[in-house]
Amino acid sequence: MRLILIGLLEAEAVWALALIVLLLGAMTMRKRNRRRRERGEAAAPAIREALAVYMGGNSDVTRLRAFRKSHRLELARTIVRFQSRVGGAERERLVELALNFGFVEGWCLEAESRSLEKRREALGNLAALSHSPKVTRLAGEIQLRALSDPDEQVRVQACALVYSDDPNLVSKGFELALTASPLIRLQIAPQLRRHAAMLCESAIPKALRVGHATELVKVLRLLNSWECHLPLADLGDFASHIDEGVRIQAIKLLAQAPPTVENRRALLDGLVDPDPRVAMAAAVSAGRLKLPAVLPRLSGCLRRGNEALAHTAAAALAAMPPLGWQSLKHYANSGDPIASAAARQALQSIQTGPAHLEEVA
Amino acid sequence: MPVVTLPLAATVLLCLMCLAILIAGVTKLVVVRRGAAHAEKERLRIVAFDENILLASDLVPDVSVIAVAPDASEATFRFVRQLVKLYFGRFEVMVVLDGPSSEDLEAWKREFHLQPAVRVAAGTIPAKPVRGMYCSTEPIPLFVVDKQAGSEADGLNAALNLVTSRMVAMVDWDTEFSSDALMRLIEPVIDDPQTAVSVGLALPAPGKSLASRIYRSECLRNWLGRCAGLAASDAILSAPGAFILFRRDALVAAGGFRRTRGGCALEMMLHLHKLALDRGQPCRVRLIADAIARPASPNSSRELRKRLSRDQMEVAGALRLHRKMMFAAGKVGDWAIPGLFCSRLLLPLLETATLILAAVSLGMGWINPLDIALLMYGMVAFGILVSMTMVLLEPAMPEAELPARELGGFFLSAVWEHLGYRQLRNLRFICDFARGWRIRRPE
């Protein structure tokens, strides 16, 4: 027994030694990191000051060059931090400085590093400077390749390529938005909005050609989130799709599309859709488009016996004076309890709500 | 046939008990190592998002933070002030006053300028009657509920009946949290709307006192074992000091919170795991390996004892209510529940029994004193080494990087922890487990 115990104690002694070595290593590393951080923090005010002088128009970069040698990392980080705080010519001067000092080239190399942390930082820095065409020309291809990176953060940062005006790069960003997780889609979607018209030329029609309902819903939802005019002349196929999710999203999108014959027909069909959720979406779109042709079917929605649909249709009619209001007055006195209640409520809101004010104006 | 004498039996028994302690220690190390690896992986999954987009989007569900106020003290008011300052789009804080005295109620009204309000209860979970509802006239999203005295679970159920938001958040009163805690917790819910629970927890801030260092070690073990270690097996459970976000419909489907002597979050998480398994689906729980919330450091050994007791009673109550899940409920039944039973009851019992048997053997002269001394030395050293190894796994924790000197102190506290403290803690653990196991009948 004693032999076993001695063996156990020996093993524990080796274990303890190994732990002490690891502890000393960890302590040394932390000390070094701390010292480096403190040095950077101490130099930060002077770096900020030198950058402010440079942005103010002073082209003498001697001091900044000295910082590039002694505090390269801190200088690069401060340039990146300043991107969101300054604008116009000052920002452009900072980008020029980053290019001249070789920071952008360095980040382009690090963006393809094996180290995840380096990739994340490099692409983050490139994303911060992507508003400049000079940077996107240099980094565009790298950002494009980074779109297929296994790391989600890197992919999100690579989406900064949508700031570029290159249709190919923007289309790639749009494709990523469709395949990414909902949270990432939420982040990328607003950035794509300014390219909506360009994307409607080929990328959106291509994405809409997919047959699968789930994918279609994703595309249509993304387009709806932009809430801007989209030159999509015919959404009829989607508005009459077999899947109600697709129909709802497509009919919502009609409010943002031009009122072509096909789109108007799709809206009219949506108002008589057997699924009340689809009809509700159509009523909302009809209220936004204010097309006189939809009035009879919109009035029909009041009589379908569905309370939520009746209220939505009444709200849409309230937004379409004077014919919509006349229709509401007619239904307010009708025998149908659901229709009359919805119409009365809509009429009441006209007297106090924004629709009335708009009409007065 | 060999004759089994008492000294021989004592020696064999003592050796077997020590072997069991060794095996338990090695298993613990394996679990926490897995936890550290999982935490590292989870940390890399954290993506820096633009918070302004999250604030404005309709896709982000609304949240109600519910809490049962322990008293009407300055510290409680300060905590509520911190809650209402959370950085989030659509949220409210609902504080339940569980049978407050008229002076306490007046203090609440004065502090937050409360005015009577009305809200129709959306839920039907049994709870003691509500006597009054108040909302603040200040521009803060605070709603206060005054109800008949019950328990913490009863108060939470009353709040659950009144809230209508999709998500419900809970946080302990002795927790420190960052103002963007809800923003971080909501991300997994947006990513996967089926996520039932989202948990955020970090280590307490490093303190100078031995009590705070020991509490930090306890939290480190909890985090690496109960949170990250079990998260690696999809069986994550909550630990003290966590900020937890639940899906409200999941809480309602579970029938609300059940009464235990400690907190209610652990029991609820086990319940949700059980319900999900009954439905044949996994319970989606995500651990956010980010510094969202952490338990406050205890100022004294009395506070340390109080916190550990509360946690132990919560564990015991939850285990009693869900003991049938052991080995019969997927990974939670195979790992989480047996793991909690072993670490919170069997191991303390075993370690205490080993000490007693060693003392008796020494007194009776059954075993050579040198052998006993070597055995005890080996066991204590093993415990110290296990704790020290865990300290070195600390960088896996969110924002845990201690300065070099603090790390050395934390490392050495493992020695003091095993020379007296741990043995006393084992005794308290056994007593608190027994207290937590005896749940009073619900009113």
Which one has a higher pLDDT value, B261 or B223?
B223
- Stated as kind and residue range, the H or E segment containing B176 is strand B175-177
Q: Is residue B126 part of a domain?
A: yes
Residues A268-295: pLDDT tens digits? 999 988 898 999 999 999 888 888 888 8
When pLDDT is averaged across residues B82-106 and rounded to a whole number, the result is 92
- Are B175 and B272 found together in one domain? yes
Chain A residues with CB-CB distance to B47 below 8 A: 152-153, 156, 183-184
pLDDT surpasses 80 at A207: yes
Q: Do A151 and B44 touch (CB under 8 A)?
A: yes
Q: Is residue B76 part of a domain?
A: yes
CB contact set of A279 (below 8 Å; sequence gap of 6+):
A270, A271, A272, A273, A301, A304, A306, A309, A313
Q: Is residue B55 part of a domain?
A: yes
Residues B58-75: pLDDT tens digits? 778 899 999 999 889 999
CA dihedral A318, A323, A327, A328 (to 10 degrees): 20
Residue B132 φ then ψ, to 5°: -170, 155
Q: Considering chain B, what is the average pLDDT of its residues?
A: 87
- Structure confidence at residue B3 as a pLDDT band (50, 70, 90): low
Q: Cis ω on the peptide bond leading into residue A259 (within 30° of 0)?
A: no
Any idea which of A22-26, A134-138, A354-358, B116-120 has the lowest mean pLDDT?
Answer: A354-358
Q: What is the 3-state secondary structure (H, E, C) of chain A?
A: CHHHHHHHHHHHHHHHHHHHHHHHHHHHHHHHHHHHHHHHHHHHHHHHHHHHHHHCCCCCCHHHHHHHHHCHHHHHHHHHHHHCCCCHHHHHHHHHHHHHCCHHHHHHHHCCCCCHHHHHHHHHHHHHCCCCHHHHHHHHHHHHHHCCCCCHHHHHHHHHHHHCCCHHHHHHHHHHHHHCCHHHHHHHHHHHHHHHHHHHHCHHHHHHCCCCHHHHHHHHHHHHHHCCCCCCCCCHHHHCCCCHHHHHHHHHHHHHCCCCHHHHHHHHHHHCCCCHHHHHHHHHHHHHHCCHHHHHHHHHHHCCCCHHHHHHHHHHHHCCCCHHHHHHHHHHCCCCHHHHHHHHHHHHHHHHCHHHHHHHC
- Are B104 and B148 found together in one domain? yes
Give the integer Cα–Cα distance in Å for A284 and A278: 10
For B140, other C-beta atoms within 10 Å of its C-beta total: 17
| Percent of chain A whose predicted confidence (pLDDT) is above 70 | 97
- Are B100 and B29 found together in one domain? no
Task: Round to the nearest angstrom and report the end-to-end CA distance of chain B.
Answer: 61
| Percent of chain B whose predicted confidence (pLDDT) is above 70 | 96
- Are B318 and B378 found together in one domain? no
- Are B365 and B292 found together in one domain? no
Residues B178-195: pLDDT tens digits? 998 999 899 888 888 888
When pLDDT is averaged across residues B107-132 and rounded to a whole number, the result is 90
Q: Do A34 and B382 touch (CB under 8 A)?
A: no
- Are B28 and B52 found together in one domain? no
Last residue of a domain, one of B273, B307, B325: B325
For A77, other C-beta atoms within 10 Å of its C-beta total: 17
pLDDT surpasses 60 at B442: no
Chain B residues with CB-CB distance to A186 below 8 A: 53-54, 57, 59, 190
- Are B284 and B431 found together in one domain? no
- Are B157 and B280 found together in one domain? yes
- Are B300 and B164 found together in one domain? yes
Residue A225 φ then ψ, to 5°: -65, -20
Task: Round to the nearest angstrom and report the end-to-end CA distance of chain A.
Answer: 99
pLDDT surpasses 90 at B246: yes
pLDDT surpasses 80 at A161: no
A:252-291 residues touching chain B, CB 8 A cutoff:
none
- Structure confidence at residue A359 as a pLDDT band (50, 70, 90): very low
Q: Do B404 and A30 touch (CB under 8 A)?
A: yes
- Structure confidence at residue B156 as a pLDDT band (50, 70, 90): very high
When pLDDT is averaged across residues B425-435 and rounded to a whole number, the result is 93
Q: Is residue B1 part of a domain?
A: no
- Are B265 and B198 found together in one domain? yes
**CB–CB of B93/B113 below 8 Å?**
no
Whole-model pTM above 0.80?
A: no
Last residue of a domain, one of B262, B291, B325: B325
- Are B27 and B53 found together in one domain? no
Q: Is residue B171 part of a domain?
A: yes
pLDDT surpasses 60 at A357: no
Which residue in the block uniquely carries the two structure tokens 């924002």? B399
Q: Which two tokens stand for residue B442?
A: 């619900």
Last residue of a domain, one of B299, B325, B351: B325
Give the integer Cα–Cα distance in Å for B245 and B201: 12
Burial of B88 (0-12, 13-18, 19+ CB in 10 A): buried
**Which CATH number do you get for residue B191?**
3.90.550.10
Any idea which of A199-203, B255-259, B327-331 has the lowest mean pLDDT?
Answer: B327-331
Any idea which of A99-113, B79-93, B323-337 has the lowest mean pLDDT?
Answer: B323-337
When pLDDT is averaged across residues A118-132 and rounded to a whole number, the result is 88
When pLDDT is averaged across residues A176-194 and rounded to a whole number, the result is 82
Q: Do A2 and B408 touch (CB under 8 A)?
A: no
Residues A326-353: pLDDT tens digits? 888 888 888 888 888 888 888 888 777 5
Domain that holds residue B74: 46-227+236-325
Which one has a higher pLDDT value, A90 or B98?
B98
Number of structural domains chain B divides into: 2
Q: Is residue B389 part of a domain?
A: yes
Q: Is residue B442 part of a domain?
A: no
Q: Do A186 and B48 touch (CB under 8 A)?
A: no
Residue A104 φ then ψ, to 5°: -65, -45
Q: CA nearest B411 in A: which residue? A: A23
B:408-437 residues touching chain A, CB 8 A cutoff:
408, 411
pLDDT surpasses 80 at A354: no
**CB–CB of B388/B410 below 8 Å?**
no
Q: Is residue B184 part of a domain?
A: yes
Q: Do A151 and B404 touch (CB under 8 A)?
A: no
- Structure confidence at residue A358 as a pLDDT band (50, 70, 90): very low
- Are B318 and B350 found together in one domain? no
Chain A residues with CB-CB distance to B389 below 8 A: 19
Does the CB of A22 have a partner CB in chain B at under 8 Å? yes
pLDDT surpasses 70 at B4: no
> Which residue type does B350 have?
L
In a mutational test of the B interface, the residue from A23, A121, A156, A179 whose CB has the highest number of chain B CBs within 10 Å is A23
